[in-house]
Structure 1
C-alpha cells in the first residue's frame, strides 16, 4: 500500500468531480515517489477593482493537510519562484483577459505550530485594451464632441439637440458599465468616477445651452417688439405731417402768397411731398441698417453671448484638469 497525504486547497470552491488522479506512480532510485493529479480549480479571491481595468490582482492558493500536523508533515517545493513562474506561463492553455505576472512561494509557514501551510502568491494583471477601445476612448470622444458643439451657431437651432444626443449616448455606455462591474464593490472604481463625471459635465453643458437659447430667443422677441413700436411711431408721425389740415387763416384766404409754404396746386404738391418723405424714410432705414443687429440683440442677447463665452472657457479648463487627473491617478498607473 502507498500512503498519499490528504492535501487540500483552502480557497477551493469547486466540486470533487473536477479532480482527476493519475492511475500510475513514479518511483526513482533515490526513493522519491511521484503522484500526479489534475484539477480544474475554482477558488475565491478578494479583488480590488478601484483601478479597473488597469488593475493588478494578487490571489493566494494555500495548500495544507486536513489531519496531519507540522510534526507529521512539512510542505515545500522543488523549484524556486522564477522557475515556477516560467513553467506556469509555459503550460497555461487559456489566459483570457489576464496575464500571469509572477508567482511567489511562502515555504513552510505554520499557524500556532499545528499545521504546515504552503502558500502560492499569484499576481495577475488584467489586459485593458478591450475596455480602452470599447469604452474609455468613446467616452473621451463624446466629451470632445461636446466641447466642439460650442462652435455651432445658436441661430441654427441644432446645438441643443446635438448636446442631448451626446448625453443619451453616454447613458447607453453607463448601462454597459453596469454589466461590467460587480455590485458588491465597496469603493467607487475610477472608471465609474470617470463615467459619472463626464455625464455630469455634459449634463451641465446641456443646461447651459438651454439657458443661452432662452436668453437669445428672449432678445429676439424684445428686438421685434422694439422695432415694431419704432416703425409704428414713425408711420404715425408721417401721417400726421401729410394729413395736417390748413389753419383757419389759410381756409379764409387771408394768407398772402409770399407767406404760404405750400404750392398753389395742393394735390400735386401733396403727392410730391409724400414721395420725398418716403425716400427720406427709406434712406433713414438704410443708414441705420449697420446697427440693426446690435439693436435687435438687446441686453438679453448680449447676456446670452457673455454667459456662453464664460462658460466655454470654464468648461474647457475643467475638462482639461479632469482628464489630467484621470491620466495621472488612473491610466498612467496601469501601464
Structure 2
C-alpha cells in the first residue's frame, strides 16, 4: 500500500514539475510575443476602448550645460522614465518559476508617442534603449537619455541676479485627452532631491526646484504635463568683473573734483573714465540680447553711471571755459594799464628833465611797493569769473554727491536680492 502511495506522490510531483516552465521562450509564447503580432504594435493596449491610457513620466536632471541668452535656450542633460500599463501582457509568476520581469524589443509593442514641445535639440543627441521592460502585472517601462536643448523665455531684467523658470511640456502627438493622460510618477520633492544629488555639472547656475503640473493644460485637445525647472544664476563673477569696476569708475570721477582746475589733467582724467565705461557697455552688449521691451537693470545701471560721468565732463568743460575767460580778461586789463605809460614815456623822453625823471622813478617805486604789500592781489575785475567758477563747482559737487548716493541706493534696493549675502 505504501508503494502505491509513493508512486502516486512521484507522479503528482512530476506533473507539477511538468506544469512549471522556467524558460523565457515559454513566457513569450504565453504572451503571444514569440511571433509577429501586429495588434500589440499598432493598438492602444486596453481591453475597452473607452479606457483612458495613463502614462506616467519622471524627469531627472543630470546637468545644466548651458543657458544661451542670445538664442533663449537651455541645454541640459536629462533622464526620462516613462511608465504605462498593457492590459494584454500579464502573467502569474508562480507558473513561470518566479519570473516577474521581461525585456523585449520596443518594435514588438505599442509605445506612447510622447514628445517635448520645447525640444530644439539635434536628434542625434537622444539615446533611447531599443528594449522595453515588461512587468508581470502589465506595467511597462522605458528610459531615455538626452542632451536636451529646449527653448526657454529668459527674463533678464535682474541679470546677473536673475532666476529663470524653464518649462518642459510633454504631450502626445496623436492621442487626445480622452484616450491618453499624462501624470507624474513621483512627487516634486523627490525629483528635486534626486536631481540635486545626481547633478554632475551646473556651470554658473543653481537648481532650485523641479515642479510638475499634475493636471497639465489643454492645447489642441491634448493633455499636457509641464515640468518647470527653476534655476538661479551665480552672480559673484559678474559682480567682481563688471558691476564693481563701474562703481569704482564712478567713485574715481567723484574724486576728480579735488583736482585743481588750473591744471589740464582733470578734463583728460574724466574723459578717460567715460571711455572706460563705454568699453564695459560694449562688453555688456555682447552678453545680453537686444531688447527694447524690458531694459535690464544692469543696462539702466550702466547708462545711469555713463550719464553721471557725462554731465561731470560737461561741467568740467564749462569750468575750463570760465577759467580761460578769466585769464583773458586779466591779460587785457594788464595791457591797458601798461600801454599808456609806455607811450607817454616814449613821447616825452626828450622833454624830461632830471627832476621830472626822478619823480617818475619815485612813482614807479611806490606803485611796486604797494603791489608787493598786497601780495600780488588781482584787481576785483580780474577775479569775477574765478568766483563764479568756485560757486558753480561747489554747488554741482554737492548735487553730484547726493545724486550718486540716491542712484546707488535705488539700484541696490531694486536689483540686489535679499539673500545675496546669505
**Do Structure 1 and Structure 2 share a fold, with TM-score over 0.5?**
yes
**Smaller-chain TM-score range?**
0.7 to 0.9
- Per-residue CA deviation, residues 128-159 of structure 1 (Å, 9 max, x unaligned), is 12221111111111111111000000111110
Q: Is the 8 A contact 1:26 1:35 kept in 2?
A: yes
Inter-partner Cα distance in structure 2 for 1:184 and 1:279? 75
Match of 1:181 in 2: 288
Residue 8 of structure 1, CA deviation: 0.6
Match of 2:266 in 1: 159
- Per-residue CA deviation, residues 7-30 of structure 1 (Å, 9 max, x unaligned), is 111111123222111244434455
Match of 2:156 in 1: 49
Residue 126 of structure 1, CA deviation: 1.4
Greater per-residue strand proportion: 2
Greater per-residue helix proportion: 1
Q: Is the 8 A contact 1:218 1:301 kept in 2?
A: no
Select which of 201, 221, 243 maps to 2:328. 221
Unaligned runs of 5+ in 2: 1-107
| TM-score relative to the length of structure 2 | 0.68
Matches within 5 A, 1:265-284: 267=354, 273=359, 276-284=362-370
Structure 1, 104-113 or 122-131: larger mean CA deviation:
104-113
| TM-score relative to the length of structure 1 | 0.84
Structure 1, 56-65 or 279-288: larger mean CA deviation:
279-288
Matched, 1:316 2:406: no
RMSD, aligned α-carbons: 2.7
Structure 1, 150-159 or 304-313: larger mean CA deviation:
304-313
Inter-partner Cα distance in structure 2 for 1:273 and 1:110? 110
Q: Is the 8 A contact 2:371 2:377 kept in 1?
A: no
Q: Is the 8 A contact 1:9 1:62 kept in 2?
A: yes
Q: Is the 8 A contact 1:54 1:334 kept in 2?
A: no
Query: CA, structure 1 residues 110+178, in 2 after alignment: closer, same or farther (shift >3 Å)?
Result: closer
Residue 163 of structure 1, CA deviation: 0.5
| Pairs aligned (count) | 313
Secondary structure at 2:227 match in 1? strand
Matched, 1:74 2:181: yes
Select which of 113, 121, 127 maps to 1:6. 113
